């Protein structure tokens, strides 16, 4: 899904270089989620099932395009 790719690429471009090992691991786990689940989280239809995903999704949504 192109929209998801754009959102996730923002984090890679803007946050990954300064992210610590834990933050990078959460991102990798997020990538393992199904696209339809990710999309529901990013459009606020559902809340992620873990706090770490919820925080990361919220942070990604605040990144400038």
Question: Which tokens hold the place of 55?
Answer: 């925080």
Total-model pTM: 0.92
pLDDT at 30: 98
Q: What mean pLDDT is predicted for residues 17-40?
A: 97
Range of the domain at 50: 2-62
Dihedral angle over CA of 59, 62, 15, 36, nearest 10: 60
At 62 the pLDDT is: 96
Residue 25 has pLDDT above 90, yes or no: yes
Average pLDDT, the chain: 96
Q: How many domains does the chain have?
A: 1
Q: Give me the CATH number covering residue 16.
A: 1.10.150.250
Q: What span, in angstroms and rounded, lies between the C-alpha atoms of 53 and 33?
A: 10
């Amino acid at each position: 899904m192109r929209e998801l790719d754009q959102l996730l690429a923002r984090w890679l471009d803007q946050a990954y270089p300064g992210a610590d090992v834990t933050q990078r691991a959460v991102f990798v786990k997020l990538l393992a989620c199904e696209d339809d689940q990710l999309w529901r989280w990013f459009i606020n239809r559902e809340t992620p099932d873990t706090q770490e995903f919820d925080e990361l999704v919220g942070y990604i949504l605040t990144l400038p395009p």
